């Protein structure tokens, strides 16, 4: 039987938390590459919090997915056919092919990667967009110095696990914040953070105990109650890296914010960033440094691998509730 393409489309825009009915799973013919295009078969799909924003048509830094279109997402896979110079069948590639098994893509959006550097799925996590996010945000904004105290929210997640380990490599005392005992134990025992606070407990009291001098670098992944506990404990000249606020992505009305007057009094540097602004041209430099840390045993990572593309919607809905443990990827087929 001829192979078919499996695609997951955006059927409708979610109201609050996404539900399975917001997605549609379809089977279509495998597309034919046109001149200048490459046909890619995806082996892994990355599921990431930013996809919640793409499902909505609210104004943002990036255009929404159109209704009826394939959900946007990064994949790691293999070139099956090529009508573009520089790519040949069998090449291993990283690119934005979306939630589907086969896709025809322009080579400008593909990175060719060495297949034996690391397991393929790592190129969607520690060696991919989340790892690049951690590296860029610390290089450009966090600028951790030896002896400083760093706090990282969503610490067991795709971005947080890399942020904290780089903090340790740079000589910081690193405190993670994560949901539940198992995640906190992983953060200290496997990732090597100095301590981890369960955000279901009294975060403010634990921060006072673990960071008596205050916090020099705060990596913000979640917002909400965690942000309200961390913010008053920032030291003079602290850097708050505004990476994301996942706790608020499903909100239908905005929560009241922190008192940002402290940014003036304490001369804080609070800067948001989007990894794609400056990250991808530096990808080769990032990949080389990260691979060096991985091969030297200084960087570890955890993945949460879901089997089968049909399970992507349920897994993504769970990610927005903290059900993933580590970088969430889908193994296609
Ligand atoms: N600025 C950029 O360019 C950029 C790039 C990539 C990612 N990001 C942002 O970085 C953040 C982390 O992304 P990731 O890929 O590393 O995701 P992730 O950590 O792998 O998954 C999301 C995690 O967020 C936590 N979470 C979810 N809902 C929460 C809630 N209501 N309150 C507290 N924690 C909650 C959960 O961990 P716990 O169970 O531990 O709470 C969950 O496992 C997100 O905000 C994302 O949007 C930004």
Please report the DSSP string for 127-139 in residue order: TSHHHHHHHHHII
Angle between helices 158-169 and 129-137 (to 10 degrees): 40
pLDDT of residue 299: 97
Asked if residues 301 and 161 have their Cβ atoms less than 8 Å apart, the reply is yes
Q: Which atom of ligand 1 is nearest to the CA of 155?
A: 40
220-245 pLDDT, tens digit per residue, is: 999 999 999 999 999 999 999 999 99
pLDDT of res. 1: 61
CA of 271 to the centre of ligand 1 (A): 18
Residue 59: CB atoms within 10 Å: 7
Sequence-ordered list of residues with C-beta below 8 angstroms from that of 83, at least 6 positions apart, any chain: 33, 34, 35, 36, 37, 38
Residue 139: per-residue pLDDT: 96
State in Å: Cα 137 to ligand 1 middle.
15
What per-residue confidence (pLDDT) applies to 58?
87
3-state secondary structure of 330: strand
pLDDT of residue 51: 96
> In percent, how much of the chain has pLDDT > 70?
99
221 Cα to the center of ligand 1, angstroms = 5
- Give the Cα separation of 93 and 110 in Å (integer): 6
CA dist list (Å): 81 to 40, 43, 177, 193: 7, 15, 45, 44
pLDDT in tens, 70-120: 999 999 999 999 999 999 999 999 998 899 999 999 988 899 999 888 999
Token pair for residue 215?
């916090």
Rounded Cα distance, 326 and 319, in Å: 10
Q: Which residues of the chain have pLDDT under 70?
A: 1, 259
Cα–ligand 1 centroid distance for 5 (angstroms): 30
pLDDT of residue 225: 92
Measured from CB, residues less than 6 Å from any atom of ligand 1 are 48-50, 130, 133, 154, 156-160, 178-179, 183, 199, 221-222, 224, 243-247, 273-275, 319-320, 322, 324, 327-328
Which residue minimizes the CA distance to atom 26 of ligand 1? 322
Collect all residues with Cβ–Cβ distance below 8 Å to 226 and sequence separation of at least 6.
153, 177, 199, 203, 247
All domains in the chain, ordered by first residue: 4-125+302-331 (3.90.180.10), 129-276 (3.40.50.720)
| Cβ-proximal residues to 265 (8 Å cutoff; 6+ apart), any chain | none
How far apart CA 219 and CA 134 sit, in angstroms, is 9
**Collapsed DSSP state (helix, strand, coil) of residue 327:** strand
């Amino acid at each position: 039987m001829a192979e078919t393409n499996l695609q997951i489309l955006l059927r409708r825009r979610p109201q609050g938390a996404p539900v399975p009915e917001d997605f549609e799973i379809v089977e279509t013919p495998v597309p034919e590459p046109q001149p200048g295009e490459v046909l890619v078969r995806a082996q892994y799909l990355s599921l990431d919090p930013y996809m919640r924003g793409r499902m909505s048509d609210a104004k943002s830094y990036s255009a929404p997915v159109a209704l009826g279109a394939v959900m946007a997402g990064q994949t790691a896979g293999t070139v099956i056919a090529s009508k573009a110079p520089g790519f040949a069948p069998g090449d291993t590639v990283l690119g934005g092919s979306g939630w589907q098994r086969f896709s025809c893509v322009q080579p400008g959006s593909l990175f060719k990667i060495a297949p034996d550097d690391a397991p393929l799925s790592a190129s969607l996590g520690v060696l991919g967009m989340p790892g690049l996010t951690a590296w860029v945000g610390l290089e450009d904004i966090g600028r951790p110095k030896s002896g400083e105290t760093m706090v990282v929210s969503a610490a067991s997640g795709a971005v947080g696990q890399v942020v904290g380990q780089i903090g340790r490599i740079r000589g910081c005392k690193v405190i993670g914040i994560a949901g539940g005992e198992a995640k906190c134990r992983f953060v200290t025992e496997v990732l090597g953070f100095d301590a981890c606070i369960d955000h279901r407990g009294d975060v403010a009291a634990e921060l006072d105990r673990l960071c008596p001098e205050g916090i020099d670098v705060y990596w913000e992944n979640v917002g909400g109650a965690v942000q309200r506990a961390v913010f008053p404990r920032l030291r003079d000249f602290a850097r708050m890296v505004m990476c994301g606020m996942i706790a608020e992505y499903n909100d239908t009305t905005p929560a009241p914010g922190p008192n940002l007057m402290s940014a003036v009094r304490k001369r804080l540097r609070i800067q948001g960033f989007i990894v794609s602004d400056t990250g991808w041209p530096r990808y080769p430099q990032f990949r080389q440094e990260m691979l060096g840390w991985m091969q030297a045993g200084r960087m570890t990572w955890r993945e949460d691998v879901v089997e089968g593309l049909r399970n992507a919607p349920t897994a993504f809905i769970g990610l927005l509730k903290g059900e993933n443990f580590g970088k969430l990827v889908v193994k296609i087929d």
